[in-house]
Structure 1
Amino acid sequence: MKAVIMAGGEGTRLRPLTCNRPKPMVPIVNKPVMEHIIELLKKYDITDIAVTLQYLPDLIRDYFGDGSEFGVKLRYFVEKTPMGTAGSVKNAEEFLDDTFIVISGDALTDINLSKAIDYHMKKQSMATLVLKKVDIPLEYGVVVTDEEGRIIRFLEKPSWGEVFSDTVNTGIYILSPEVLGFFNKNEVFDFSKDLFPILLKENKPMYGYITDEYWCDIGDLRAYWQANMDVLDRKVDVQIPGKQIREKVWIGDGTTIEDGAVIEGPCLIGSNTRVKSNAMLGSYCIIGDNNIISEHSSIKKSVIWKGCNIDKNVEIRGTVICNKVILKEHSSAFENSVIGCDTTVKEHAIIKPNIKIWPNKLIEEGTEVNSNLVWGSKCIRSIFGQRGLAGEINVDITPEYASKLGAAYGATLKGKGTVGVSCEDSSAAKMLKISFISGLLSSGLKVIDLGILHLPISRAAVRFYGVDGGIHISTSSSNPGRLQVDFLDKNGSNINRALERKIENAFAREDFNRCEGDLIKEVEVVPDFTSFYLRNIINNTKNKSFDYKIALNSPSKFILSTVAELLKTLGCTVEETNLNFGKSGRKEKDDSTELNYFTSMVRTGNFDFGVSIEDTSERMMLIDSKGRIISEDMFTALVSLIMFKTVEGGTVVVPLSATHAVEKIAEKNHGRVLRTKTSPQDLMNSILGNEVKAESIDQFNLYFDAISGLVKIMDFLKSNNYKLDDLVDMIPNFYVHEKEVECSWNAKGKVMRQIIQESGNNNVETLEGVKIYKDGSWVLILPDAEQPVCRIKSESYSAEIAQELTSFYADKVTQISNS
């Protein structure tokens, strides 16, 4: 059998380790990780090997040559531009005349290839994927197999809401040559994203071989360090270079250990290295070739590459040190720090924990390095949550942080274009607006300062001025110490997850350019866009006078005054309250005293309806004249009803979790329902799409602009001679129930997989989480993206059945999570 080693990886998340070497050449226990892969293939008599190259290919060819030194025969296939995983293998098609194995050159594994190949042959599979169970599957492709091992579902790099399994694709495949006939040469094509979905759709035999053996994708700096430690602990069966002089201590040829030096196992010291007297190498040290460790220096749990000079009295803890680094006397480096090649750290300098120093740097004497130097990498789960960025002011989100994030956003726009920036009327929001503007300007962008606005008005301004994107900073009236930052696209919608990932990557690596000083642009200031926005709402109403008596509430006095003035201009009588319902907005049931007071006030005060607007002015809660609260699901149905009656045969977009009463309304009005993921950004992007139309703006505003949406509802009622009560009565009865249950991050993938596997003959949907249809009812199990919980929601033909369904699956989540 032949093999293909995919060795084109750039390894951007591993920088600064990969600043001047491809990812497969990063050393694990003093050998390039790809060398371990070649040794594994040779162990199973696979010696005819193709190597696909793209990034710095000569470094790999120069090291491995024709492979004869390693007991194999290597042929190289170089891509000029990245062609995707399958596209790179297609380059070697003439070489692959029989079943072959594809394996990554930048992962560490000791998998029994013979067992995997036997499984492939036994199943007569066209494509067999080697799978592994992991705790947190976000950076991998998740896979579900049936009882026979046949693959039935997979998704590449899911968000938490999309995680439906803890079984992931290792990137090791056993393939029939005919799979290469499903696409063309010189076509950008990926195994997971492109080829495997085709095989799944065409029902080709595609199986998953689940291994319990060691596999580690050296994807980030933490994984790199851990892989080295795992080898020392013998958790993975690979060849450790050097001679074992005592238990768990290996030493290479020509190495000298002077009297008085202390070596604690497990420890590996390479060739031609000198450890001087009274030096201390604690456990879990990996020292490469040609290093000098001087007197009274202490090293623990660290990886040091080649040609380094560690001077006297140096302290190193949990650090990775690349080639040709010099640490002068009394300098120190601490946990999770990385020092790039050809760097000099002078006397008494301190590298603080989690600091990354790019190659060719000079750290001056006595310097305390507490931020990444020039280029960086931060170990973060993610910057963005369910929607935008949230955190404590001057704790999670500082002015420095905001400026860097603005520059990272600018990097995704390649330093060209215009961004609008706005904030709400708080000192903290104004302060951080300045920082975001500074970061954007530093990347070469033009900035329009939209001033003090509410978020929906900022969205409208982004569309009106035709800018390339926007940033809006807001604080909460209930928690003024907490900040919310929304990043907007050109349509005024929150940016999609793909762009969020780009910003996160640019921010984490500090991979953004600062423009030259004479290219920094002037900030354009827009005065009072709110007045234009309100006048535009009035001008777009079909009815120029409304005669409604309205109870208006908001925790924000600014919103109260703005909306009350607008409603009075439209001929309404308004009574204002300044109550705070907390999280009561549009919930099915709530015992809030203030909410009960407000509903009673609407019911007994002869009001046409009541409306409460959140302090962001995005969301509203309606109460009809009978005191009925329009719950979240009821509001979604109400919006759908208004849209279908406004545009017959139209389309409404609703979240996956919304009541299926919407479909009944659509059927009655000859409309169509499009369901999308539950996050606000997915709903926004699905409503607006690529082309902004009047119909989509109306629906967008009903969901995300309480001021414009309220006037739209009043205009619809007036034009059709309806009361709000009439619309509520038109909505079919429905019964939903929701519950939140604890579920650790590590258990989420396992929970999703087992629930899918146990769903039997029920119809299962995995657009987001797992939605199970059963006997006319449904239940949605959704892993939360920000907290270690799962949210469970069900709908049925009675409240009792809905509650039973929710409780049943809540218990199941708890049981699987704790097992």
Structure 2
Amino acid sequence: MKAVIMAGGEGTRLRPLTATAPKPMLPIGNAPMLEHIITLLKKHGFDEVIITVAFMANAIRTYFGDGSEFGIRISYSNEDSPLGTAGSVGNCRELLESTFMVISGDVLTDIDLGALLEFHQSNKATATIGLKSMENPLEFGIVTTNDDGTVGRFLEKPTWGQVFSDTINTGIYVLEPEIFSYMPVGKALDFSQDVFPRLLEDSIPIHAMVCEGYWEDVGTLEAYLNAHKDILDHRVDLEILGFMVDKGVYFGDGTEVHPTALLEGPIIIGDNCRIGPEAKIRPYSVIGSNSRISKHAEVDRSVIHENVYIGEGSIIRGTIVGKSCDLRRSVHTEDGVVLGSDCYVGDGAQLFSKVKIYPSKTVQSGATVLTSIVWESKGTRSVFSSNGVSGIANVDIGPELALRLAMAFGSNLKPGARISTARDSSRAARMLKRALMVGLNAVGIDVADLEVAPIPALRFHVRNTSSKGGLAVVLDPDDPESVVIRFIDENGIDLDEASQRKIERGLAREDFRNVLASELGELDFPARNTEFYAQSLLEQAEIGRIRDRNFKFVVDYGFGVSSHIFPSVLSKLGGDVLGINPFSSTKRIVESDQSANMSRLSELVVTSRSEFGIGIDSVGEKIILVDNTGRILSGFESQVIFCRLVAEANPSAQISVPIGSPKALRNAVTRFGGTLHFTKRSTSGLMEAASPATRGRDLVAGVEGNFIFPNFLPGYDGCAALVQLLSLLAVTNRTLAEVVGEIEPIRVIHDSVITPWESKGIVMRILLDGIGDQETTLIDGIYAETNSSWYLVAPDPVEPITHIWVESDSEIEGVSILSSLRERIAVIVNDSSGLRLR
């Protein structure tokens, strides 16, 4: 027995979900609606189906193929132009030589098709219509029947004044081939409006049967959500994919749920999902395959399609989220919100009721969205962040993106150029680095792979060999779920913004170089690079004086790759060193708590009676200092300590620091005759100050434990920072405790104000216009200074926020300045005119 499934509709009322997928392919309970129809037909003995396709036909053909995977034969009939319900079936007439059934591919039903077929055959009918009683028939075609069960009248989508029956046309028909004589070839026709009325005019009876069971035309977004509720309430006889692990709770294969997560049935969670700690999946929620619900997130009465990421603390209520969407931390959505596929919603964004976000749109962090986003993007994301290309592994950054990034990077270099690569010990970094190397080779770039190595060792290799740059893949020290791809130029510093934009343009245009097979890049593995790096690091140290001092300190390697190199360096410097977390372990990095690690380091410094402790981050770039009392020093304090020691050891020292550094630092450097230079706060700004073009710098000191010693390497290096600290303390014959005790009070305070991207320029202009006679510096944002205080206002380059830093001799005055600036920025942002100066 054959059946025709009509699957050519666009489903305009279901947009934005149907903007990138045909309506029959929308998932219901994690399987396409059309798959449920095929399953129903197979259940009732149909062994061959013909699917009529038009809109996005390839999506249907690709998924179902010839039907062998589904245990049924499938063929396709394509509509080159819209033919209507009857016209599309008439297009298949050559394949329909006997009784056949017609059914829509975009409904949800469990109607007994066998009973309808039997009814048709017992009446020897030409046409039989399946009817259904509905409480509200306004959206459907109404049918009345005569006493003998034949159709008396049709009316398509009536008003209440035209309602004369509650039985509607389900669009399920059993037909005989004779009906094709009423269907001209190639003409657009509708069964209810064109074909069936003509049969009645010719006195050919049309039989109708009121069918029992569930039937729902999933034609609206509200009906789409209700259909899922009906499935979970078992109002429709439908096989739910997965297995029931608790009452009303269904899991797919490979799904993992944290023991502290709360699951309240009825719910469905698809294959290979991850539900994080203390996440909440509330009743009537459906989670698509390969989706991740982060810790403390909540999903309530929502349908989440496949490959979706829901960030930490987000609350998703009464919402439909299309496939491959990325919702970051603390996103809130209200009832009726719908996101099309491939949307990005930034941290803290709020989407109000009934908002629709069309596919591939970006909602910026902190945004409040009151109206639908259809055409505009509402804020675009650049590929590069402040430290490279960063994002959640296999969510934001997968092997496809890594491959294309490398091809874009390599296409800007001459064929045959050499790029060095390195990674940390994580599996995510290993996977992505391999994709990067393939991309480089594909555009004719040779690769020197250092395998597992800290970023400073990669910088050293690039700077001291013929490499034209480097690529490193590491876990983000601030978020172990994320990875960072670092791009390094031939001088060993991070790629400048102009070069980053070239890569972004090439990526967007897919403007990659094509090379012949004989021109593909080579791959080699340089030997002993880490040994050369360690030897060069020791050459920068005052080894004799360090040994004489016989330092006693604690080092926390943070389970990073610095532990592969640094113990051998310290062994040549003498002293008493206690190393903790002295091996690389991705699992331990992910599971460990930074504050707990620092507390342990602090405790060990005190109990071992060490002079100080130092923590090196997992990628080997930044440090945290602990004094002999176990106090964890702030980034500002560490900055002052290094600048003071460098100036004391070398009275003619040239030191660069970011604008907005504390007064104590300036006083310490000038006291010993050093010269201070101010630079941007960004990574690229600090490394530019350390580049070969800016000669003569002895130190570039950031405020986050990020130090650069340009005479050794023009990039952050935690190991070099420790070696230099030992050298400086030895040369000046000081202890860290003494230096800490002499630091002037640091009263820098910080805050930020949410500022939409389109308001950032207005905020800075109005603030600058209102400064008056204050002395200002515009290196990075607006820096203004008086005798007793200074403040810095700077827009964040990545997030929609404006930063404020203030320092004053009086704590009360500092808080007052900060509050005044914060309120002024808020007024500018919230001003209804957007421009009026208050």
Structure 1 residue 712, shift from structure 2 partner: 1.2
Report if aligned partners of 2:649, 2:732 keep a CA contact under 8 Å in 1: no
* Structure 2 counterparts to residues 633-782 of structure 1, below 5 A: 633-690=636-693, 695=698, 698-699=709-710, 704-782=716-794
- Matched residue type, 1:636: Q
Report if aligned partners of 1:735, 1:796 keep a CA contact under 8 Å in 2: yes
The residue that corresponds to 1:436 in the other structure is 436
Report if aligned partners of 2:553, 2:576 keep a CA contact under 8 Å in 1: yes
Question: Following the alignment from structure 1 to structure 2, what is the Cα–Cα distance between the partners of residues 765 and 424?
Answer: 40
SS in 2 for 1:688: coil
The residue that corresponds to 2:401 in the other structure is 401
SS in 2 for 1:487: strand
- Matched residue type, 2:653: G
Question: Following the alignment from structure 2 to structure 1, what is the Cα–Cα distance between the partners of residues 188 and 448?
Answer: 62
- Matched residue type, 1:616: V
* Structure 2 counterparts to residues 76-91 of structure 1, below 5 A: none
Question: Following the alignment from structure 1 to structure 2, what is the Cα–Cα distance between the partners of residues 591 and 564?
Answer: 22
SS in 2 for 1:488: strand
- Matched residue type, 2:576: T
CA RMSD of aligned residues (A): 3.4
Where relative contact order (Cα < 8 A, 6+ residues apart) is larger, the structure is: 1
Question: Following the alignment from structure 2 to structure 1, what is the Cα–Cα distance between the partners of residues 639 and 811?
Answer: 19
Report if aligned partners of 2:448, 2:526 keep a CA contact under 8 Å in 1: yes
More off after superposition, 662-671 vs 749-758: 662-671
* Structure 2 counterparts to residues 235-246 of structure 1, below 5 A: none
Structure 1 residue 416, shift from structure 2 partner: 5.2
Structure 1 residue 683, shift from structure 2 partner: 0.2
- Matched residue type, 1:571: G
The residue that corresponds to 2:630 in the other structure is 627
Question: Following the alignment from structure 1 to structure 2, what is the Cα–Cα distance between the partners of residues 768 and 652?
Answer: 18
Change (3 A) 1:716 1:382: same
SS in 1 for 2:760: helix
The residue that corresponds to 1:536 in the other structure is 536
Change (3 A) 1:490 1:642: farther
SS in 2 for 1:494: coil
SS in 1 for 2:740: helix
Change (3 A) 1:383 1:575: same
Report if aligned partners of 1:656, 1:676 keep a CA contact under 8 Å in 2: yes
Answering whether residue 579 of structure 2 is matched by residue 567 of structure 1, we say no
Report if aligned partners of 2:653, 2:697 keep a CA contact under 8 Å in 1: no
Answering whether residue 476 of structure 2 is matched by residue 465 of structure 1, we say no
* Structure 2 counterparts to residues 281-360 of structure 1, below 5 A: none
Change (3 A) 1:802 1:578: farther
Report if aligned partners of 2:776, 2:785 keep a CA contact under 8 Å in 1: yes
Question: Following the alignment from structure 2 to structure 1, what is the Cα–Cα distance between the partners of residues 483 and 594?
Answer: 28
Report if aligned partners of 2:444, 2:520 keep a CA contact under 8 Å in 1: yes
SS in 1 for 2:709: helix
Deviations 1:398-449 (A, max 9, x none): 2121111111112222445221111111222111111111222222222211
Deviations 1:343-366 (A, max 9, x none): xxxxxxxxx9779xxxxxxxxxxx
Q: 1:786 aligns with which of 795, 798, 817?
A: 798
Question: Following the alignment from structure 1 to structure 2, what is the Cα–Cα distance between the partners of residues 407 and 703?
Answer: 25
SS in 2 for 1:735: coil
Question: Following the alignment from structure 1 to structure 2, what is the Cα–Cα distance between the partners of residues 603 and 619?
Answer: 22
Report if aligned partners of 2:407, 2:439 keep a CA contact under 8 Å in 1: yes
Deviations 1:265-295 (A, max 9, x none): xxxxxxxxxxxx999xxxxxxxxxxxxxxxx
The residue that corresponds to 2:616 in the other structure is 613
Answering whether residue 496 of structure 2 is matched by residue 493 of structure 1, we say no
Change (3 A) 1:567 1:397: same
Report if aligned partners of 2:459, 2:715 keep a CA contact under 8 Å in 1: no
Change (3 A) 1:594 1:526: closer
Question: Following the alignment from structure 1 to structure 2, what is the Cα–Cα distance between the partners of residues 694 and 777?
Answer: 28
Structure 1 residue 478, shift from structure 2 partner: 6.8
Structure 1 residue runs of 5 or longer lacking an equivalent are 1-276, 280-333, 337-351, 356-376, 581-589
Question: Following the alignment from structure 1 to structure 2, what is the Cα–Cα distance between the partners of residues 684 and 531?
Answer: 25
The residue that corresponds to 2:519 in the other structure is 519
Deviations 1:761-814 (A, max 9, x none): 222322222222244311111211222222211111133332332222122222
- Matched residue type, 1:460: F
Report if aligned partners of 2:553, 2:610 keep a CA contact under 8 Å in 1: yes
Change (3 A) 1:523 1:618: same
Deviations 1:135-193 (A, max 9, x none): xxxxxxxxxxxxxxxxxxxxxxxxxxxxxxxxxxxxxxxxxxxxxxxxxxxxxxxxxxx
Q: Which TM-score applies when normalising by structure 2?
A: 0.49
Answering whether residue 486 of structure 2 is matched by residue 474 of structure 1, we say no
Structure 1 residue 477, shift from structure 2 partner: 6.4
Change (3 A) 1:509 1:386: same
The residue that corresponds to 1:146 in the other structure is none
Report if aligned partners of 1:579, 1:594 keep a CA contact under 8 Å in 2: no
The residue that corresponds to 1:801 in the other structure is 813
The residue that corresponds to 1:550 in the other structure is 553
SS in 2 for 1:785: coil
Structure 1 residue 736, shift from structure 2 partner: 0.8
Structure 1 residue 611, shift from structure 2 partner: 0.6
Question: Following the alignment from structure 2 to structure 1, what is the Cα–Cα distance between the partners of residues 478 and 676?
Answer: 36
Greater Rg, structure 1 or structure 2? 2
Report if aligned partners of 1:734, 1:796 keep a CA contact under 8 Å in 2: no
The residue that corresponds to 2:445 in the other structure is 445
SS in 2 for 1:521: coil
Report if aligned partners of 2:429, 2:473 keep a CA contact under 8 Å in 1: yes
Structure 1 residue 560, shift from structure 2 partner: 4.6
SS in 1 for 2:690: helix
Structure 1 residue 669, shift from structure 2 partner: 2.4
More off after superposition, 557-566 vs 632-641: 557-566
**Percent identity over paired residues:** 27
Change (3 A) 1:474 1:729: same
Question: Following the alignment from structure 1 to structure 2, what is the Cα–Cα distance between the partners of residues 662 and 398?
Answer: 43
Question: Following the alignment from structure 1 to structure 2, what is the Cα–Cα distance between the partners of residues 665 and 651?
Answer: 13
Question: Following the alignment from structure 2 to structure 1, what is the Cα–Cα distance between the partners of residues 714 and 687?
Answer: 11
Question: Following the alignment from structure 2 to structure 1, what is the Cα–Cα distance between the partners of residues 665 and 438?
Answer: 46
Question: Following the alignment from structure 2 to structure 1, what is the Cα–Cα distance between the partners of residues 466 and 558?
Answer: 32
The residue that corresponds to 2:389 in the other structure is 389
Report if aligned partners of 1:662, 1:673 keep a CA contact under 8 Å in 2: no
Report if aligned partners of 1:455, 1:618 keep a CA contact under 8 Å in 2: yes
Change (3 A) 1:591 1:413: closer
Report if aligned partners of 1:702, 1:708 keep a CA contact under 8 Å in 2: no
Report if aligned partners of 2:691, 2:714 keep a CA contact under 8 Å in 1: no
Deviations 1:12-61 (A, max 9, x none): xxxxxxxxxxxxxxxxxxxxxxxxxxxxxxxxxxxxxxxxxxxxxxxxxx
Structure 1 residue 593, shift from structure 2 partner: 5.6
Change (3 A) 1:673 1:692: closer
Q: Which TM-score applies when normalising by structure 1?
A: 0.50
Aligned residues: 445
Question: Following the alignment from structure 1 to structure 2, what is the Cα–Cα distance between the partners of residues 781 and 460?
Answer: 35
Question: Following the alignment from structure 1 to structure 2, what is the Cα–Cα distance between the partners of residues 466 and 642?
Answer: 35
- Matched residue type, 1:575: L
Question: Following the alignment from structure 2 to structure 1, what is the Cα–Cα distance between the partners of residues 600 and 341?
Answer: 56
- Matched residue type, 2:818: T
Report if aligned partners of 2:462, 2:470 keep a CA contact under 8 Å in 1: yes
